Structure 1
Amino acid sequence: MRIVYIDIDSLRPKHIGIHGYHRQTTPNIDRIARQGVRFSRAYCASSPCVPSRASFASGLFGIHSGVVTHWGPGCDYRQFNTEERPMFVRLLREHGYHMTTFSSFADRHDAFWYMAGWNEVHTHTLKKGDEDADEVIGAALPWLEMHGKEDNYFLHLQLWDPHRNYTMPRRYQELFRDEPAPAWPDEEAIVTHQDSYAPFSAAMLFPGRGRSPVDTMPDRIRNRDDFKKFADAYDGAIRFMDEQLGRVFDTLERLGVMDETAIVISGDHGEAMGEHGVYGDHVCADEAVHHIPMIVKWPGSAQNVERRELVYNVDLQATICDLAGVPVPKGWDGRSFAGAIADGGAYMPREYLVWDHGLYSVGRSVRTDEWLMMRTYHPGVVPLEPLELYHVATDPYLTRNIAADRPEVIERLDHYLQQWHHEQVGHPFSKPDPLLLVVETGPFKYIKKDGWARHLREAGREDLRTIYLNRIGERS
């Protein structure tokens, strides 16, 4: 079996054409989706980049891998290839797959556990994630030309382009000049977002800098015109990346192996586009940050099918093993959904998901078909309430916290959260919850606690500085 795994940073499923987006951002991804199964409600178990890719490496939730933040306490990878919990890459290699990655992830985040098990690691530049898609694909295509017809390989291609800053050629942004931006956030929402003290918010789009470092992006989001420029840049980055992926798909077609090659398209986390007042980043355990793309084209799979079951990114590793005939390890947290990919296959869906975030804030959330409950244990630099509840079916952008109005829903979702936590740590030899370490030490990584207070004062927002300090238990 040939497997090509495409790992896209910060790609919102809502901005993929086949999911109903009104702009032509992803014609090449769409053509693969029409040949396979797309999961429109897939989510990462831990965000952002480092915790999510620890799940890729381990097949585990962050509470078990030990990685729930980007460095320091709560970022101690603790599952090195035991028999019960083998690392995903090593497991496939042990079963005869030639494992090759084109990724600068380990270099960017000093996450050297990511390197374990690969036959080949290609970092292609020293830009540590600031390379564009043409650099990644330009390095990968010669490998594909040489090895594409071989059997039993796993080719991993990691692309950063939808992650800010959006540095694609300007002509891709111009493709959307005459097309309307997404309808939300509207002018009213953008006005309210001016009073958020969060980094990457409308008034503080580039923390500590004040101005955009690239001409494709506005300095701040003051109105719908600014938002359109921002959305055009994000969509332009997606379109540029998608065009580069088209070169991969065309090569597989030309080599005559496309029909016999499995293609998996997914990502590490999503990207906020106004949710919780944040634009173009990932700061909390909400829907926008955790919603990820997931498309699987497998030889013999159903074609052009959408599945709406709730699935995790850690389920994808178990599914790939299952489809490839590799026994799924009993100690993994992932649950195979191979039955949802096989034409007419059966699959037992999850009733709910629990996910967490530990970088700019610390929290865990529960997602059901209709509801999202967010419990924030440390707000960090984000203006979050300790308890938030959203009816996602009618409020997809999380604009109305109705926790106080629906105590019966809170009780039910809280039960799910506690039940999940007991299942993870309530057995012999379980290790402490690493998220508690981030709560204890604070989620002040890229942005420091006192430094952010100074920034708010220097920006002339003493009102927001006071709110921020009160929220984190400090005094102005």
Structure 2
Amino acid sequence: MSFRTFRYTTLVTSLLIMAGCSASAEPPGRPAAAQPASASPSAPAPSAPASPTRPNIVFVLVDDLSMDLVQYMPNVRKLQQDGTTFTNYTVTDSLCCPSRASIFKGQFPHNTGIIKNHGSDGGFRLFHSRGQEKSTYATDMKTAGYRTAFMGKYLNEYFAKSTMGTGKPYVPPGWDEWAVGGNAYDNFNYDLNENGKVVKYGATPQDYLTDVLSGKAAKFITTTAATGQPFIIEVSTYAPHAPYTPAPRDAALFPGLKLPHTAAWDKVPANSTWLPAGMKLTKAQKQRMDVEYRKRVQSVQSVDKMIGTLRDTLTKAGIADETVVMFSSDNGYHMGEYALPSGKQTAFDTDVNVPLVVAGAGVQAGRSVDLIVENIDFRPTFADLAGAAAPAETDGRSFKPLLAGEIPADWRATALIEHHDPATDPADPDYQSDSRNIPPSYDALRTTTFTFIEYVDGTVEYFDRRADPHMLTNVAGTLPAARLAELRTALRGVATCIGAQACGTAARAIS
């Protein structure tokens, strides 16, 4: 028994024990396991297991994960069974750097100022030059007495050798352990800044980046657990981002697997304001996406294995019952839906509604929650778990009560999505070579029942997702003028809000 386990024995009466949680490998192509039991937010909630007052936090963030990949991730599905799944988790922007900035700061892109992956209005260099790194969830948690670690992909434009005028490879404030790469999407032949020292990795199977991160994270957990100090670690993989490189051991899995075709496959939504009617995918695009999808499924196998490894490590260290494990993605990904080739950046659910699964101390098991949660909520949630107040600058709100089955009466009704100055520069790793894949700038509201989008030219789209879950018909033209005016006003309110109180009020102003 660890020091922290002993210390919390008198406090913990009913814990979610996460032993033996590494799921066994499944045959290629096996159908998805049953989803966690659905529970309406308004229904009486079963009691949640008790939690230590300051649990450890393991946060696994992946890159470009779409919902349809979860069925191939047995350890993620085990996490769902053991914890709570947020079915309406929504990102502030379906683009890497703006989304990640929202996580670090707990702010919408209109407040972080990060609206692109690089250049004058986005990327690591702007985040750094604006002094944003001086106040993030890392500095919060370090001040609260947590040991902090970040491993993997940080922000676009960060490179392992970056010094930012410090004279040595740069490590941002707030991090005790740092193992971060730059353009390491190939998962081989990359550099990592390891606590201020650049280490080169090659092309052997042992150099595969997700596995390297898994080993470093497991070591951090083991060594920190022995000290009794609470910790938070974010492991941020490059997988399954293009070029979708799988671990060598997984490169032959799922032979013959092809991209699933949903109701939105190769269909332009009726009355679309920006997609040309009658647009169709080419034969070459369809063939390419079949290969890409299979590689994406292969590439997430290493991520799934890592989740099992880290949960096993928590159990062996005797701290599984003192730890909260979170799994999510920076954004989603469309592949063939709406006649669009592989990409993101749109306000369709394929791109903005991504997995968020949480299990561990104080978290209800086997529960689905459909309340609106956003990536601006991580920072205040981390602070809440640490027993600290959320910084005043955050726009988000702690979802810790939702983990225990509590439903605050004043929870937000809508999520804000804002996407501006799309990725049109070939230097951007998310550059879209096909102009059809680049939506105009927009702001959007996403509730549990509809999505309302206003584009830069003033045109609007409204998708009633209850009647039209695949978002195939824009019915904005059928809405009364008063309703449209109400939606526009509500959108402007959230798109300009500053701070948790104002943003919370604005997000409750529409239903």
Q: TM-score, normalised by structure 1?
A: 0.72
CA contact (8 A) 1:221 1:227 kept: yes
Cα distance in 2 between the residues matched to 1:15 and 1:240: 13
Greater CA drift, 312-321 or 227-236: 227-236
Of stretches 337-346 and 291-300 in structure 1, the one that deviates more from structure 2 is 337-346
Which of 437, 448, 455 is the matching residue for 1:369? 448
Matched, 1:36 2:83: yes
Q: Is the 8 A contact 1:174 1:232 kept in 2?
A: no
Deviation at 1:81, TM superposition (A): 7.0
> What is the distance in 2 between the residues matched to 1:399 and 1:387?
15
Aligned to 2:104: 57
Q: Hey, what does 1:419 align to over in structure 2?
A: 493
CA shift in 2, pair 1:79/1:369, >3 Å? farther
Which residue of structure 1 lines up, in the alignment, with residue 508 of structure 2? none
What is the one-letter code of the residue matched to 2:118? Answer: W
Shift of 1:36: 1.9
2:170 pairs with 1:130: no
Following superposition of structure 1 onto structure 2, how do residues 209-248 of structure 1 map, counting pairs within 5 Å? 220-222=284-286, 227-248=289-310
Answer yes or no: is 1:263 the counterpart of 2:325.
yes
Query: Structure 1 residues 49 and 114 mapped into 2: Cα distance closer, same or farther (>3 Å)?
Result: farther
- 1:154 to 1:26, Cα distance in 2 relative to 1, 3 A: same
CA contact (8 A) 1:47 1:68 kept: no
Checking the alignment, whether the CA contact within 8 Å between 2:98 and 2:116 is kept in structure 1 is yes
What is the one-letter code of the residue matched to 2:97?
Answer: V
Q: Give deviations 1:386-433, integer Å, cap 9, x for gaps.
A: 3222222333333322222334553332121122245349x9xxxxxx
8 Å Cα contact 1:376-1:387 kept in structure 2:
yes
Output the amino acid matched with 2:388.
V
Is 2:93 aligned against 1:46? yes
Q: Which residue number in structure 2 is paired with residue 391 of structure 1? A: 464
- What amino acid maps onto 1:55 in structure 2? S
Paired residue type of 1:423 = C
Q: How many correspondences in the alignment?
A: 388
In structure 1, list runs of 5 or more residues that go unmatched. 18-24, 204-218, 379-384, 428-476
Report how far residue 91 of structure 1 moved. Answer: 1.0
CA contact (8 A) 2:88 2:353 kept: yes
Per the TM alignment, residue 105 of structure 1 is displaced from its structure 2 partner at its CA by 2.3
SS at match of 1:416: helix
C-alpha separation between the residues in 1 aligned to 2:106 and 2:496?
19
Would the aligned equivalents of 1:300 and 1:343 in 2 still touch at CA under 8 Å? no
Counterpart residue identity of residue 210, structure 2: A
Cα distance, 1:331–1:186 mapped onto 2, change above 3 Å? closer
From 243, 268, 275, the equivalent of 2:337 is 275
Matched-pair contact (CA < 8 Å) for 1:36–1:304: yes
Are 1:48 and 1:269, in contact at CA under 8 Å, matched by a contact in 2?
Answer: yes
Q: Are positions 1:161 and 2:239 aligned together?
A: yes
**Cα 1:346–1:398, aligned 2, differ >3 Å: closer, same or farther?**
closer
Aligned 8 A contact 2:141 2:382 in 1: no
What is the identity, as a one-letter code, of the residue corresponding to 1:413? L
Does the alignment pair 1:286 with 2:365? Answer: no
User: RMSD of aligned C-alpha atoms?
Assistant: 3.4
Shift of 1:232: 2.5
Give runs of aligned pairs for residues 13-412 of structure 1, distance below 5 A. Answer: 13-17=67-71, 25-75=72-122, 76-77=126-127, 78=130, 80=132, 86-106=135-155, 108-109=157-158, 115-123=172-180, 127-131=183-187, 132-150=209-227, 151-169=229-247, 172=250, 175-177=253-255, 181-184=259-262, 189=267, 202-203=281-282, 220-222=284-286, 227-344=289-406, 346=408, 348-358=410-420, 359-360=422-423, 361-377=440-456, 386-408=459-481, 409-412=483-486
Shift in CA distance, 245/293, structure 1 to aligned 2, threshold 3 Å: same
Deviation at 1:121, TM superposition (A): 1.1
Q: Tell me the secondary structure at the aligned position of residue 128 of structure 1.
A: coil
Asked whether the 8 Å contact 2:149–2:177 carries over to 1, the reply is yes
Q: How far apart in 2 are the matches of 1:278 and 1:166?
A: 18
Q: Would the alpha carbon gap of residues 79 and 336 (structure 1) be closer, same or farther in structure 2, given more than 3 Å must change?
A: farther
Structure 2: runs of 5+ lacking an equivalent: 1-54, 165-169, 188-208, 424-439, 502-511
1:257-293 deviation per Cα after TM superposition (whole angstroms, max 9, x unaligned): 2122111112211111233433332133332222122
Question: In the alignment, is the contact (CA less than 8 A) between 1:314 and 1:334 conserved in 2?
Answer: yes
- For the 8 Å contact 1:45–1:313, the answer to whether it is kept is yes
Tell me the distance in 2 between the aligned counterparts of 1:58 and 1:278.
32
Question: Separation in 1 of the partners of 2:327 and 2:266?
Answer: 35
Residue equivalent to 2:38: none
Q: What is the identity, as a one-letter code, of the residue corresponding to 2:176?
A: N
Give the Å deviation of 1:313. Answer: 0.8
Q: Per-residue deviation at 1:187?
A: 7.0
Query: Amino acid of the residue matched to residue 374 of structure 1?
Result: I
- Deviation of 1:14 (Å): 4.1
Distance 1:299 1:335 in 2: 20
The reply to whether residue 9 of structure 1 matches residue 63 of structure 2 is yes
For the 8 Å contact 1:108–1:129, the answer to whether it is kept is no
Distance 2:215 2:342 in 1: 26
| Greater helix proportion | 1
Distance of aligned partners of 1:116 and 1:407 in 2 relative to their CA distance in 1, 3 Å threshold: farther
- How far the C-alpha of 1:314 sits from its partner, in A, is 0.7
Q: What is the one-letter code of the residue matched to 1:244?
A: M
Question: Is 2:266–2:337's contact at 8 Å kept on the other side of the alignment?
Answer: no
Sort the Cα spacing of 1:107 and 1:311 in 2 relative to 1 into closer, same or farther, 3 A.
Answer: closer
- Residue identity opposite 1:11 in structure 2: L
CA contact (8 A) 1:337 1:347 kept: no
Contact 2:147/2:230 (<8 A) preserved: yes
TM (norm. structure 2) is 0.68
Deviation string for 1:139-192 (max 9, x for gaps)?
A: 3333333334443111110012121211114774654446674332677649x9
Per-residue CA shift, 1:413-468, capped at 9, x if unaligned? 2121122245349x9xxxxxxxxxxxxxxxxxxxxxxxxxxxxxxxxxxxxxxxxx
The one-letter amino acid of 1:130's match is D
